[in-house]
Chain A
Amino acid sequence: MSSQSSSQTPQNIDYSRTANVARMHAAVARESGELASQSVPISLWAVVSIAVVSICAGSFFSGALADHKQKPPVGAGASGGMSDEELHQPANWILAGKSKYSQCAACHGANGEGQPGQFPPLKASEFVIHGEKRLVATLLHGISGPLTVDGKPYNGVMPKLGGAASMPDKDLAQLLSYVRNEWGNKGSVIYEDQIKALKKDLGDRPGPYTEVELRAIPQDAPAPLSEWVARLEKPAAGAAAAPVAAPPPK
């Protein structure tokens, strides 16, 4: 047994001594040795690929951190991340109206000063800062023909913004609240339920108001009280930055 075995192997080793181990380990015998690694250097394109991965990781990192620093813009979307109560806080409500003012700015100007002779100012305007009803009526149905504001004559057309096809009540309410509290204006905040109530109150009209018709609405005519006033008063204390729909200052 051992002689046959040793004749097949390079060295004469007496395997009978270890026959058991040898029989068991045919698998071991056919195994190759443990080889040391070659020392091929890392190729250039491998280094480049690693650099690309690292750059991707870096841009991910700065992106993820930049996101950290960015706060959601307050009132950017009508209700971006805010609860209804938060949104209806006067300060937020007014701010939310700011983004809707862009379509007014074309005529009335970003500073709300209008164009002499054509478009009346909104800043300190007698039609803007007093009672809610007249202002809402103007927005809901528009005006055409000559108009005197604060003693100066104007002659243009104010298209109607309210109504089924145009601005929703909520947006209109935010817009008007903004206009009544910007450029030094100090007016009450208007909520969407007040717009809705006034719409009912004013009824349908075939066309826009004329100056006479508009002035028929008393200057201080208020809107009905909003349910939001009561709702916001419960948590109270918080941000009461602007006066809530109360009788406007005379």
Chain B
Amino acid sequence: MSQESQTLPPEITPDDILQRAAIDKSTRLPVLFFFTSGVAWLLIATVLGLLASLSLVAPDLLPSQYLNAGRLQPAFVNALVYGWGFQAGIGVMVWIMARLCRTELRNPVTLVVAGHFWNIGVTVGVLGILAGSGNLHMKLLEFPSFAWPILLVAYTLLIVWMVIMYSARRKGMIYISQWYVLAACFTWPWIYLVANSLLNVLKKSGVAGPAIASWYANNVLFLWMVPVGLASAYFIIPKITNRSIHSYSLSTLAFWALIVLAPWAGAQELIGGPLPKWLPAVAGTAQILLLVPMFAVVLNHYKTVRGSHHLVEASPSLRFTFFGGIGYACTCVIAAVLSSMNLSRYTFLSYAADSVQMTGYYAFFTMTMFGAIYFIVPRITGCEWLSGARIRRHFWLSAYSCIFMCVVLLVAGFSHGSAIDNWSTNYESAMLFSNGYIVGRVLMWILLLYANVSFALHLGAMVLNRGRKAGRPTLIHEHAPTAVSAPAVTLEPSKA
């Protein structure tokens, strides 16, 4: 923020500012809708996650048949991914697309209608899982089979407007974030349609079922969440540091490597299973090769941020994005390591899979989305976040509990998985091996619940226009020496 000097950077004219303000105003309704309903789902997912981990520690605590671990766990993961992840992601996609295309959003209402459909689909799906009519065992496709057309239609309605915005863009320049947003527009409908038409229309079942589901689940992470998260990172890092992205070539390499390699990965989860062996072999190879785009992105972002690490301390958006970048790297590394034949023997069907999920969905994607929300919401609501201390608390609670959860689940996965691998151990005692870790996970969910409730209240205040009116950014460390400069240009004289 120190780089946001007292005068405007040369290429920004007040007209630009007004144009941006008009774009932000046009996206206000749908983006806030997706953020708020996404955060509502985040709270639901957090509660479900807490209950799911609690039900493994104290099964008798939740007497209802709807609240057993077998239903709570998929309900939690689906609420987290479709309720929170997708809605937060769509909000970010819409806003970034509008900004970078320099076009106002013409049909905010259509987007909100599509958003309602999406919410109906997710609600029906999560309730269906809890009621026991879901397709359990199909990772991320657990929603009862009538829910998928609703989600697919809603998403299609959304991307139509994003593509229209893209084709009506002004100025020739196409930014890296736009590549990723466009990719995310098309990848998800593709994988979702393929997976559902194979499973629900053509009724492929038996061995093919889990293979399709693990391909789909892996691609939700690598073909949807990673593009959306990276779109946000590629937007926020140059904005906050006021530096250009280090290398165009690295960005191109990372983008195409991701798009080409990711669809091959996924089935390595079933290594050793009753599948043709080439399938996990190819998938595992692709999963290891996915380290290449990760490495290119991390290198590129690191080189861009280098020298302005004080901004990572001060700026909420950059700090969450930075953490998300580390989460992305960890996800890729853990996923690649676990696809190794020798290790997967000890992690197959164990908590280690939950660890990859938490790293990908939470440490990477959720944290990156928090960063984007901290950036976008002040611009579309016109007020500033209430308190830097509160953001700091949100960051540290989220960071500690998701790091702890990922590590603990990985360790628990090895002890759980090697107990399962030992034929003389029965399943019940294999579960007992990892019980201590699972108690730790419950405690971390309680911390996360606190963090997320506090974040939701903070966001609620912003939406209700109760934020700070002062035109200064809310920083995590108000007294950071380099970050105290007043806002660059005051368009609002009465404040001075």
Say yes or no: B493 contacts A28, CB within 8 Å. no
Say yes or no: A60 contacts B291, CB within 8 Å. no
A28-B20, A50-B296, A65-B278 are known contacts; what are 20 more A-B pairs with Cβ within 8 Å? A8-B490, A10-B7, A21-B21, A22-B21, A22-B492, A23-B492, A25-B20, A25-B21, A25-B382, A26-B472, A26-B490, A29-B489, A35-B238, A40-B246, A40-B247, A46-B296, A50-B292, A57-B289, A63-B341, A64-B281
Docked Cα-Cα span, A63 to B247, in Å, equals 35
B100 within 8 A of A: yes
Say yes or no: A21 contacts B247, CB within 8 Å. no
Say yes or no: A30 contacts B247, CB within 8 Å. no
Can you spell out 12 A-B residue pairs with CB atoms less than 8 angstroms apart? Answer: A9-B8, A11-B14, A23-B492, A26-B495, A28-B24, A29-B489, A35-B243, A40-B248, A46-B295, A56-B288, A65-B281, A68-B277
**Which residue of A has the minimal Cβ distance to B489?**
A29
Chain B positions 463 through 496: 1 when the CB is less than 8 Å from some CB of chain A, otherwise 0? 0000000011100000000000001111111111
A183 within 8 A of B: no
B378 within 8 A of A: yes
**Which residue of B has the minimal Cβ distance to A47?**
B253
Question: Taking A21-B21, A64-B281 as contacts, is the C-beta distance between A41 and B491 under 8 angstroms?
Answer: no
Contact of B473 among A30, A34, A60 (CB under 8 A): A30
Chain B positions 222 through 260: 1 when the CB is less than 8 Å from some CB of chain A, otherwise 0? 000000000000000011001111111111010000000
**Which residue of B has the minimal Cβ distance to A23?**
B492
Say yes or no: A64 contacts B280, CB within 8 Å. yes
Docked Cα-Cα span, A10 to B12, in Å, equals 10
A13 within 8 A of B: yes
- The interface size bin for chain B is 35 or more
Contact of B247 among A11, A41, A60 (CB under 8 A): A41
Say yes or no: B289 contacts A25, CB within 8 Å. no
Q: How far is the CB of B352 from chain A (nearest CB, A)?
A: 18
Contact of B382 among A13, A23, A49, A56 (CB under 8 A): A23
**Which residue of B has the minimal Cβ distance to A21?**
B21
**Which residue of B has the minimal Cβ distance to A1?**
B493
Which chain B positions have C-beta within 8 A of A46? 250, 295-296, 299
Which chain B positions have C-beta within 8 A of A30? 1, 4, 471, 473, 487-489
Q: How far is the CB of A28 from chain B (nearest CB, A)?
A: 5
Say yes or no: B379 contacts A32, CB within 8 Å. no
Chain A positions 8 through 22: 1 when the CB is less than 8 Å from some CB of chain B, otherwise 0? 111101010010011
A interface residue numbers (CB < 8 A to B): 1, 4-5, 8-11, 13, 15, 18, 21-42, 46, 49-50, 53-54, 56-58, 60-61, 63-65, 67-68
Main secondary structure of the interface of B (DSSP, over half): helix
Question: Taking A22-B491, A26-B492, A39-B249 as contacts, is the C-beta distance between A53 and B341 under 8 angstroms?
Answer: no
Which chain B positions have C-beta within 8 A of A65? 277-278, 281
**Which residue of A has the minimal Cβ distance to B341?**
A64
B22 within 8 A of A: yes
Q: Lowest 4 CB-CB distances: which A-B pairs, in order?
A: A26-B471, A24-B382, A68-B277, A64-B281
Question: Taking A33-B16, A35-B238, A56-B288 as contacts, is the C-beta distance between A61 and B282 under 8 angstroms?
Answer: yes
B9 within 8 A of A: yes
Say yes or no: B295 contacts A26, CB within 8 Å. no
Docked Cα-Cα span, A10 to B9, in Å, equals 11
Question: Taking A26-B491, A35-B244, A40-B247 as contacts, is the C-beta distance between A68 and B21 under 8 angstroms?
Answer: no
Contact of B284 among A28, A29, A31, A64 (CB under 8 A): A64
Which chain A positions have C-beta within 8 A of B496? 4
Docked Cα-Cα span, A94 to B20, in Å, equals 83
B167 within 8 A of A: no
**Which residue of A has the minimal Cβ distance to B17?**
A29
B144-184: which have CB < 8 Å to A?
173, 175-176
Question: Taking A10-B7, A53-B289, A54-B289 as contacts, is the C-beta distance between A24 and B277 under 8 angstroms?
Answer: no
Which chain A positions have C-beta within 8 A of B251? 37
Say yes or no: A36 contacts B173, CB within 8 Å. yes
Docked Cα-Cα span, A1 to B494, in Å, equals 7
Say yes or no: B492 contacts A21, CB within 8 Å. no
Docked Cα-Cα span, A16 to B219, in Å, equals 50
Contact of B18 among A21, A41, A49, A56 (CB under 8 A): A21
B25 within 8 A of A: yes
Most buried by B among A32, A33, A49, A67: A32
Which chain A positions have C-beta within 8 A of B296? 42, 46, 50
Docked Cα-Cα span, A64 to B25, in Å, equals 54
**Which residue of A has the minimal Cβ distance to B99?**
A34
Chain B positions 392 through 422: 1 when the CB is less than 8 Å from some CB of chain A, otherwise 0? 0000000000000000000000000000000
**Which residue of B has the minimal Cβ distance to A58?**
B285
Say yes or no: B491 contacts A9, CB within 8 Å. yes
Which chain A positions have C-beta within 8 A of B471? 26-27, 29-30
Which chain A positions have C-beta within 8 A of B13? 11
Say yes or no: B278 contacts A68, CB within 8 Å. yes
B200 within 8 A of A: no
Q: How far is the CB of A57 from chain B (nearest CB, A)?
A: 4
Which chain B positions have C-beta within 8 A of A24? 21, 25, 382
Q: How far is the CB of A24 from chain B (nearest CB, A)?
A: 3
Docked Cα-Cα span, A73 to B280, in Å, equals 23
Which chain A positions have C-beta within 8 A of B18? 18, 21-22
Q: How far is the CB of B214 from chain A (nearest CB, A)?
A: 16
B60 within 8 A of A: no
Say yes or no: A53 contacts B288, CB within 8 Å. yes
Say yes or no: A38 contacts B248, CB within 8 Å. yes
